[in-house]
Chains A and B, each alone.
Chain A
Amino acid sequence: MRDDQLIERYLRGDSEAVAVVDEWLRRAASSYRRRLREHWDDVLQDVRLEVTRLLRQGKFRGESSLKTYLWRVTGHTCLDRLRARQRSRVVELDSDLTEGDHAEEMAAPPRGWNAERDLLLRVLARMDEDCRRLWGMLIEGRSYREMSAETGVSEGALRVRVLRCRKRATEVRDDLLAGETTSG
């Protein structure tokens, strides 16, 4: 059955087409199940709803096979769920600190994706592991007392290290921007 025929029959509710698409969705989602086990039925339902919505809106343009397209939709939905779950574990920070990292839309640039985001990834890759670990603990909402106990570093020294990591990140960013200006 051709993809366009399958879509047409799926949207009509044809049981054979629904079974085919549903099997693809289940398979594509299966690898995420271990991490989303608690809400698995909801996740699958989200995937089905998203697929139906996108197909109804004619978002599938045949640039890849339908199967590959459904794999992407399923991946997006499951990854968004996973990331939302991780976010909920992180202490509620000021709303703009991490917003825009996760919620993404099919067939559109990820929200907040821009040159700055690209730059952030490159800066982050140049930071040392210690800085990433300390700031990761901050993102998780740890107090400096907890961090001190966990790392075995005195509270005062820890606060200074975190500050140095922040300054170092700014230097790296400025270096990268200067390099781009020079090469550009």
Chain B
Amino acid sequence: MNESTCQRTRELLPWYLNRSLDEAERQEVERHLEACAGCRAELEAVRWSYRLYAQHLPAAAVLAYVAGDDPRLDLGGGARLDRATADEHLAFCDPCREEVAMARESLEALERESAAAADLASADRTNVVPFAPPRERSAALPWGRRLAVAASILFAVVATGGWLTASQRASEHADTVAELERRLEAAEAAARADEAASQPGKEPGADVAAELETLAAELERLRREADQGERKLALLEQRFQQPSVSTAVVPPGVTRSGDAPDAALVVPLGADGATVAISLRGVTAPQPVRLVREGRTVHDFGTVEVPVEDGLPLLTLRLPPGSQLGHYVLELPEADLRQPFQLVAGD
């Protein structure tokens, strides 16, 4: 057999198998294969190469990889794959990495399900939902995640309730203190009058002195409480003045994915882009605003006015068409604010 014909045939075999040779080349290869055992063996080797380069992680491996940290991924029915082998594959295979990301996102969505259901119930009524405080992304366990959410809700409730309580109590205390001071002055005046009258058989001003003592003790206690309340109020006011995101104002047709701070908004991303509206605290002046994705600024909105609606500064950002779905960080560098959120397609 002519060696150069074998060489040419072998070079063409990959394209013979993917059926992209033209008719003349195909017939040339087939004629040669009929006559050459060596090239038929090579054809089998090329088939093996196709299987090799078409390899991806089995779906079961993708799911097992996401579901746990077992060094041997359980593929069911006793089959297993080393996590290290999966890691090697994921290091270069974009489609499999994407599948892992989708499976992970799916698992996280399910873990958030319980908390999100409760959130959505209130979001449906008010269309304004709490916006969790910024937090580093982590692979928290479901309960850890739920605890974090519970903690942020608790903080909001305590902070709001605390502010109201402190404010109300400080006001009540001020009235009480004034009333006690009036009563104290009246008691002192009465004591002086008693002393002046100096009734025989009775120690002068004894009843009034006892009342004075009680009133003075109560006054002192209330003053201490009032001081504590004022300090607490000042602290809360200071905290509220720090720049932060307070709520995500959800436009009609937009749902919210739940509690995770990096998945706070689900926004319909249509052909004409998407709108994200976020309420802020402690931000009133025009702000430089930018969107960052994977550490890179993807949209620089320049300096943006922050109009106040219903008493809250409301930042409305229009993301241009072609914006990609995924994780973003909203940065207001002058306000020292970084808020992660996720842009995903809504219904």
Contact = CB atoms under 8 A, between A and B. Distances in A.
A74 B106 CA distance: 9
A93 B19 contact: yes
B50 A138 contact: yes
A71 B51 CA distance: 29
A72 B50 contact: no
Interface string B91-110: 11001000100110111011
Nearest to A166: B49
A163 B17 CA distance: 13
B15 interface: yes
Contacts of B109: 27-28, 30-31
| Category for how many chain B residues contact A | 35 or more
A24 B91 contact: no
Contacts of B78: 109
A47 to B, nearest CB: 11
B21 interface: yes
Contact of B106 (A29, A96, A98, A146): A29
Contacts of A120: 51-52, 55
B106 A28 contact: yes
Given A34-B345, A138-B53, A23 B113 contact: yes
B135 interface: no
- Between A106, A127, A138, A141, the greatest number of chain B beta carbons within 10 A of the residue's beta carbon is seen for A138
Nearest to B91: A125
Given A93-B17, A121-B89, A144-B15, A98 B59 contact: no
Interface stretch (A6-14, A50-58, A75-83): A75-83
The DSSP consensus for interface residues of chain A is: helix
A72 B67 contact: yes
B76 A27 contact: no
A141 to B, nearest CB: 5
A132 interface: yes
B338 interface: no
A71 B81 contact: no
A121 B51 CA distance: 10
Nearest to B7: A163
A109 B59 contact: no
Contacts of B332: none
Contacts of B12: 144, 159
Interface in A7-55: 23-24, 27-35, 37
Nearest to A99: B51
A148 to B, nearest CB: 11
Contacts of A35: 102
6 contacts: A23-B113, A30-B109, A107-B77, A121-B55, A124-B53, A162-B11
Given A28-B110, A101-B56, 16 more contacts: A27-B112, A31-B105, A79-B59, A83-B56, A93-B17, A93-B19, A110-B75, A120-B52, A121-B88, A124-B53, A131-B53, A135-B50, A138-B53, A139-B54, A141-B18, A144-B20
Interface of B: 10-12, 14-15, 17-21, 45-63, 67, 75-79, 81-82, 85, 88-89, 91-92, 95, 99, 102-103, 105-107, 109-110, 112-113, 117, 325, 344-345
* 6 tightest Cβ-Cβ pairs between the two chains A and B: A109-B79, A135-B53, A143-B20, A31-B105, A125-B88, A159-B11
